[in-house]
Structure 1
Amino acid sequence: MLLLAAAPVMAQLKGSIEYNLWRAQQGDTLTVFAEKAYIRQSASPKATIQDSLTTGQTIIAAKLIETEFTMKGITAPWYQVKYKVDGKQKEGFVWLGLMAFGSYQKDSVQFLYGIDKVTPGEIKEADPKYVILVKALNAKHAVLDKKSVTVDGGSFAISSDAKLLGGMGLDKISTIFRLYFSGESCGIPDNYIYYGWNGARLLELPGKTSMFDAGAVAHTETLLFPKEAGGQAGKIIRLTVDEEFGEDGETVAKSKSIREVYIWNGEKATKQ
């Protein structure tokens, strides 16, 4: 596996240029996530377009530009970048909202994930929703499949990362692509979203959530795949433990455990 973007993804904080969704640093390799990304002559959506790149192509981050732009609800800064066209080294400016959060390689398949749009909360004070896309590309950067998932944004998605886990013993699955979104403080859950790749499609798998509110409660979910200790062939097992702490904030006063079993038939996980 080749990890092209290992830095954690920081949540969108409008007006705080250094804390953006991508956390790009000078010298980082960025991967185009949008169907088309315009490289402009200056850091402005009105600037002259000098080149256009497509999904899966890469550029090198050279310098953060302290100018923000908002489109589809996404607020992100611009970056001066270096890239190649027809073998020639060039420089220009790109809006980070067009870049992937991360790029991950498994054999000839490239997995990207990024943000498609941001939608406001149901009430003014509510956190926004992030519509996240996962894309699987072939060696020629053609999209083989893509999936969309909506996650709570704002304080509920301060950081994110992704990882390829291998097949984990699931029939017809060559690798599992796991997304992770974390909140900014105690009492806000960490959410894990899983997709299985069968060579042609991204298949939804059960996910898990964990939450810890210091001195009060803890909610922990663990997924067991067939290959793992305690796992069973043809099944995905989710173990949930809910704990309440006593007045000292340390002693567990109450605990409840739940075991859920999902039957995997090579295409779909069905709760038993």
Structure 2
Amino acid sequence: MLRYLIFSFLFTIGFFNAQSEVAYAYVDNGLYANSVFNHQKNEMVKVYVDQTKIRELPTLTSKVVDSVSHNKSLKIIEVTGAVTQLGERAANWLRVAYDNKTGFIWSGNLAISQFSKDGVDILFGIPSTETKINPDNISYKGLVGGIKYFKNANLISEKNFDAGTTENLSAHTLTVEKATRLKNIDYTINTMVSGEACGIPTYEQTIFVTKDNLILLPKTESVADGGIFYHSESIELPSAENKLNNQFYYILEKGQTDDNDVTTGEKIKNLYQWDGQDFKNIKTIKEAIKS
């Protein structure tokens, strides 16, 4: 009886499934998946990391039974609850179905958001972590974000960018829009990752999609702390309201509130010119803020 109780405490027993003919058990290691890697049963997902391994069981030491290419569509048939952490990313193992086959895949290798329309596929992923150096010359583990752009199932371009740290894996968005008033640009992409507490920055990356390339605009970071201070960066693209043509703004606004609820700060607007291939800063406007 004691042996049985110990075994029940340490393991969550998987089940036998007639479709995959796999029975498995996994160790409950107390890890929880980062929110951006959470998926649901019956959801259709796409592979971000090329040649991602499909395994017989939900563990890195299990037998590799197949590999799948980036942009491959998979259907989730089970969210196992088994979690593995690689670097700063903790993600569930999923049992997936594809091409009349099934197997287990680590969800950190999947796109966290995707866009598909008219033969165009745009994938947003967090494919890895890497050691970075902050302004104080202290090393830390940072997230690598990535965009892959496919046309008619062919990879046209991909770019990586800074996606913060593991604190930024609570929420994410991917927005893809047809470009307006921008020469040689097909789409504009915006990615966002953020945390869930005050003082944790939100990072956004805007990207121009040309016929055969991805152009990264300046990364933006915004953070605030309980009405005491704020630091906000944003990209303002051409629109009917601002009437910009082949130009865009990078806007920085920062301020702090004193004990008398008076907020003082500064707003900086950098105007960039887009020539159809690249951009350059042509004007800077600064103004003081007091309210």
- TM-score normalised over the length of structure 2: 0.77
- Distance in structure 1 (CA, Å) of the matches to 2:129 and 2:235: 29
Counterpart in the other structure of 2:270: 260
Taking structure 1 as reference, are residues 190 and 252 closer, same or farther at Cα in structure 2, changes over 3 Å only? farther
Q: Is the contact between residue 224 and residue 231 of structure 1 (CA under 8 Å) also seen in structure 2?
A: no
Counterpart in the other structure of 1:5: none
After TM superposition, give the deviation of residue 126 of structure 1 in Å. Answer: 7.1
* Structure 1 residue matching 2:218: 3-state secondary structure: strand
Counterpart in the other structure of 1:205: 217
Taking structure 1 as reference, are residues 15 and 194 closer, same or farther at Cα in structure 2, changes over 3 Å only? farther
After TM superposition, give the deviation of residue 23 of structure 1 in Å. Answer: 1.2
In the alignment, which of 101, 105, 120 is matched to residue 90 of structure 1? 101
The answer to whether residue 116 in structure 2 is matched with residue 116 in structure 1 is no
Q: Is the contact between residue 206 and residue 218 of structure 2 (CA under 8 Å) also seen in structure 1?
A: yes
Deviations along 1:42-95, one digit per CA (max 9) or x if unpaired, are 212333333322111111112222323344664322111222x2xxx3322111
In the alignment, which of 202, 207, 226 is matched to residue 214 of structure 1? 226
In the alignment, which of 190, 193, 197 is matched to residue 181 of structure 1? 193
Higher RCO, Cα 8 Å, sep 6+? 1
Q: Unaligned stretches of 5+ in structure 1?
A: 1-13
* Structure 2 residue matching 1:97: 3-state secondary structure: helix
In the alignment, which of 208, 233, 251 is matched to residue 245 of structure 2? 233
In the alignment, which of 63, 69, 76 is matched to residue 48 of structure 1? 63
Taking structure 1 as reference, are residues 73 and 157 closer, same or farther at Cα in structure 2, changes over 3 Å only? closer
Counterpart in the other structure of 1:11: none
Q: Unaligned stretches of 5+ in structure 2?
A: 1-28, 283-291
After TM superposition, give the deviation of residue 253 of structure 1 in Å. Answer: 2.9
RMSD: 2.5
In the alignment, which of 144, 155, 178 is matched to residue 167 of structure 2? 155
Deviations along 1:158-182, one digit per CA (max 9) or x if unpaired, are 3222110220321111111111011
Taking structure 1 as reference, are residues 98 and 75 closer, same or farther at Cα in structure 2, changes over 3 Å only? same
* Structure 1 residue matching 2:178: 3-state secondary structure: coil
The answer to whether residue 150 in structure 2 is matched with residue 137 in structure 1 is yes
Counterpart in the other structure of 2:15: none
Kindly provide the amino acid, as one letter, of the partner of residue 276 in structure 2. Answer: G
* Structure 2 residue matching 1:17: 3-state secondary structure: coil
Kindly provide the amino acid, as one letter, of the partner of residue 131 in structure 1. Answer: V
Give the stretch that moved more between structures: 172-181 or 254-263: 254-263
After TM superposition, give the deviation of residue 145 of structure 1 in Å. Answer: 0.7
Kindly provide the amino acid, as one letter, of the partner of residue 226 in structure 1. Answer: P
- Distance in structure 2 (CA, Å) of the matches to 1:26 and 1:47: 22
- Distance in structure 2 (CA, Å) of the matches to 1:28 and 1:126: 38
Kindly provide the amino acid, as one letter, of the partner of residue 250 in structure 2. Answer: R
- TM-score normalised over the length of structure 1: 0.82
In the alignment, which of 25, 41, 55 is matched to residue 40 of structure 2? 25
After TM superposition, give the deviation of residue 110 of structure 1 in Å. Answer: 0.7
- Distance in structure 2 (CA, Å) of the matches to 1:239 and 1:152: 20
Kindly provide the amino acid, as one letter, of the partner of residue 233 in structure 2. Answer: E
- Distance in structure 2 (CA, Å) of the matches to 1:117 and 1:199: 27
Q: Is the contact between residue 206 and residue 269 of structure 1 (CA under 8 Å) also seen in structure 2?
A: no
How many aligned residue pairs are there?
Answer: 251
Q: Is the contact between residue 177 and residue 195 of structure 1 (CA under 8 Å) also seen in structure 2?
A: yes
- Distance in structure 1 (CA, Å) of the matches to 2:140 and 2:196: 12
